[in-house]
Homo-oligomer: A and B are copies of this chain.
Amino acid sequence: MSAPRSAIEIVTIGDELLLGFTVDTNAAHLARELGDDGFRIARRTTCGDDAAQIADAVRDAFERTGAVITTGGLGPTSDDNTKSSIAAIFGRRMRLDENIWARLQQMWKARGWPGEIPESNKLQAMIPEGAKILENRHGSAPGIWLEDEHSRWVAMLPGVPRAIRGMRADTLRPRLRAWRGSAAVTVVRSRTVRTTGVSESALHDKMAEMRRRVHGLPLAFLPGWEGTDLRVTSRGLGDAEADATLERAVADIRARVGDAVYAEGADDMADTVLQAMRARGWRAAVAESCTGGMLGMRLTAIPGSSDAFVGGVIAYSNDVKVRDLGVNASDIDAHGAVSETVVLQMASGVRGRTGAEVGLAITGVAGPGGGTEEKPVGTVWMAIDTPLGARAVMSRLIGDRDEIRRRATQGVLNLLRKALSA
């Protein structure tokens, strides 16, 4: 093996995945963690449960790369094609593993199922000759490691996300490190700068000649409902040089993009805002109409948010806006529930009734119905009321109902972030 042992292929198995009924989060998670360990993902493949499909897909990957991780096809409801199909690639027979069989019998009793476990379940306890068991402390089906005389291998993991995540860390990782040995590792590092409230094209403009590469590092624009993330990636540089170059690149991006940067890495806007609130010893309350609680949900998704968030009012109906937030019914009649005056009254109203230092409010037309010529779907008023003053902005947000609501929560949080950083 002259090639450095670091390239791995991932084959995810299952009709559910192939047919798109299930989104393949396992492959993404595995790829990310293997990349963090310095392994290179050569290719990813998804095939169905059919034995021939599994054999073809895994054989192709095995002959290309000689290092393959599969997920799925080991669980109690699978037809168990994964193990036998891959055993055939290695020319191995299947044998009954008494330990697994005993464990299955125990589980059957533990679950209080009637009678004895059916013989048919013995299929689950069959493993290829010469296979090593990859212990699974996170689920029922163990993983399987099959290796040939050229130390080419296939690692079979179950399809359950929790099991995969756990097994990669505590069972698979040591084996992969041993396999790679002291081979040179291509260090892949990346850093992400998160921006919001600015269009992707405007970002291209700000980055100008650095739009494709920053200090020689490729720059990726990753637009989403939260905004557009800018990711720079270094490949093949030494640790120190990678860190230094990434640092310079991030500094340049921040300098060019400026105030639209709200976080780095995977940090959430809600976290950024909560930290700014804590720094001032303030607590927030929310008044939500079209988002129906999504803003409160985002803030409370952050563990420990209780020291900077008290709660609020979901004012979906106008009655609640009037009775619980003190919005003037006459203003709703005159300007509509989606208006500057109403959103400002919502923000100050929830601040007053909860005693929180900061009130955030959202009211808008999330669609698909309810749009008018004057206020089309996507029209959202957002407001903040703080000891520094009150502010309201209107946005025309794009996307479907869910996306419009998500963008609205991001928008009002960004409004508060800017006010607190001013």
Contacts and interface: CB of A to CB of B under 8 A. Distances in A.
Interface stretch (A23-31, A245-253, A272-280): A23-31
B221 A77 contact: yes
Nearest to A208: B114
Interface string A190-215: 10000000000100110000011000
A188 B290 CA distance: 39
Contact of A294 (B212, B293, B312): B293
A314 B301 contact: no
Interface stretch (A41-49, A128-136, A144-152, A389-397): A41-49
B324 A317 contact: no
Contact of A23 (B25, B114, B190, B294): B25
A186 interface: no
A171 interface: no
A288 B369 CA distance: 27
Contacts of A319: 310, 354-355
Nearest to A30: B20
B316 A314 contact: no
A55 interface: no
Interface in A1-52: 15-25, 27-33, 35, 41-48
Contact of A27 (B46, B57, B306, B314): B46
Interface in A248-305: 286, 288, 290-297, 299-301, 303-305
Nearest to A289: B311
Main secondary structure of the interface of A (DSSP, over half): mixed
B303 A292 contact: no
A77 B45 contact: no
A100 interface: no
B47 A301 contact: no
A353 interface: yes
Contacts of A317: 306, 309-311
B32 A28 contact: no
Contact of A45 (B44, B292, B300): B44
A231 interface: yes
17 contacts: A17-B44, A18-B41, A20-B31, A24-B24, A43-B46, A44-B46, A77-B212, A111-B205, A292-B296, A292-B297, A292-B300, A301-B401, A303-B367, A303-B368, A310-B317, A311-B314, A323-B353
